[in-house]
Structure 1
Amino acid sequence: MADIDRMFQQAKDTFGRIDVVVNNAGVTKYLDIMEIQEEDWDRIHQINAKGVFFCMQRAAKELIAQRQGGRIINIASIAGKGYAGTSNAAYAASKGAVISMTHIAALQLGKYDINVNAICPGATLTTMGAETMAGRAASSGQSIAELEQARDSKIPIGRANEPEDIAAMAVFLSGPRRTKTSPVRRLTWMADW
């Protein structure tokens, strides 16, 4: 909690106020359901679910105190919506928790003009994604190139997301036009576009 307090204080010291908070924390590793150990589960949930919750809670407190509304954007994953190609069950459960927390927060914070949304990216070209792909290759005996080709063939645009794709959605959700979109009806934004 001290890290969260420091982060918010530093943001207020630097910018004078909080307007938008993007919770973009996430860890995983490629594990079969029978391989997940308690320490794997705890680490994944500590960062992906608990960290996001308490950051979101602190953001809500700051935004309510400022009395000018604001935005909270949580980065979830299509894994949290039951995507079959996820890295492991613990990761999927943690991102499902983020989606559920986002929904409840949107319902409870809307009266303060605080919009709360989740972005649910699919495959994204990050270090974490590359590590997951390497684990999948080692487990399956297929090459990374074969796995990437199979993955990309299932995506309508024929490629994985770039981090900039996800950032563009976060910028949209942060902006003034976002106020015209219901945070509850259009809660999770799939980013496999």
Structure 2
Amino acid sequence: MVLVNRVALVTGAARGMGKAIALALAEAGAHVAAVDIDGPGAESTGIAVRELGRQSLAIEADVGSVDEIDRIVKETVDLFSRVDILVNNAGVTRYLDLMEVAEADWDRIHRVNAKGVFFCMQRVAGELIKQGEGGRIINIASIAGKGYSGTSNAAYAASKGAVISMTHIAALQLGRHDINVNAICPGMTRTAMSLTTMAQRAESMGVTAGELE
């Protein structure tokens, strides 16, 4: 187990990709802080981590708030005395045509997908630098951030493009501290959020979700 006694902080860990990532890290030996705005969902992931023989911490928090991010990092370090890995997975979207995006939609998406990722990365990097042992930061972006033509929401695509760009700069600036920063750009993944978005898009097109798939 390559991550024995390492501590991983995973945002958006209540379900879908985030939960799968948290459990994969636990299977590799890591203890996990599972963060989500859905507290019971985060606790469910924490229980699953403990069933794998690892320690866990479930944190109900909103990563769109810097104060909340500071609390997340503090609670993680208070319990485990360190953090080694950050997986910035939390994200939001909904189906919206370009002309339907309102200011509130833009702000909601970027508050979590861009601001949340940036400040989680910054705050965890601060702990990694203090520890002086390097670390790993993985930002979950999307092919939408690369201009994928099948993307249904331009505001979401912009937020994921921001994640890709900030990852490049962070990797350059944090590399001297032996902190590796990378972005992963998944395609469409069958999660509750993506299925909801697909259903919304299908309804707008007058077809079924099955036909759209």
Equivalent of residue 103 in structure 1, options 153, 156, 168 = 168
Alpha-carbon offset, residue 14 of structure 1: 2.0
Equivalent of residue 128 in structure 1, options 185, 190, 193 = 193
Alpha-carbon offset, residue 85 of structure 1: 1.1
Equivalent of residue 27 in structure 1, options 76, 92, 117 = 92
Counting aligned pairs with the same residue, the percent is 72
| Match of residue 45 from structure 1 | 110
Q: CA RMSD in A?
A: 0.7
Superposed CA deviations along residues 53-88 of structure 1, whole A, max 9, x for unmatched, are 011000111101100000001010100000111130
Superposed CA deviations along residues 149-186 of structure 1, whole A, max 9, x for unmatched, are xxxxxxxxxxxxxxxxxxxxxxxxxxxxxxxxxxxxxx
Letter of the 1:75 partner, please give it.
I
Aligned equivalents of 1:28, 1:57: Cα separation in 2: 23
Gap regions ≥5 residues in structure 2:
1-65
Superposed CA deviations along residues 7-52 of structure 1, whole A, max 9, x for unmatched, are 1111112221010011111111101100000000010001100110
SS of alignment partner, residue 104 of structure 1: helix
Letter of the 2:97 partner, please give it.
D
Equivalent of residue 88 in structure 1, options 135, 143, 153 = 153
| Match of residue 161 from structure 1 | none
Name the count of aligned residue pairs.
Answer: 148
Contact 1:28–1:87, Cα closer than 8 Å, also in 2: no
Alpha-carbon offset, residue 110 of structure 1: 0.5
| Match of residue 15 from structure 1 | 80
Gap regions ≥5 residues in structure 1:
149-193
Superposed CA deviations along residues 120-160 of structure 1, whole A, max 9, x for unmatched, are 11001111101110111101111111111xxxxxxxxxxxx
Aligned equivalents of 1:103, 1:131: Cα separation in 2: 31
Letter of the 1:16 partner, please give it.
S
TM-score normalised according to structure 1 size: 0.75
Q: Which has the higher contact order (CA 8 A, sep 6+)?
A: 1
The ranges of structure 1 where at least 4 consecutive aligned residues each deviate by more than 3 angstroms after the TM superposition are none
| Match of residue 205 from structure 2 | 140
Contact 1:74–1:98, Cα closer than 8 Å, also in 2: yes
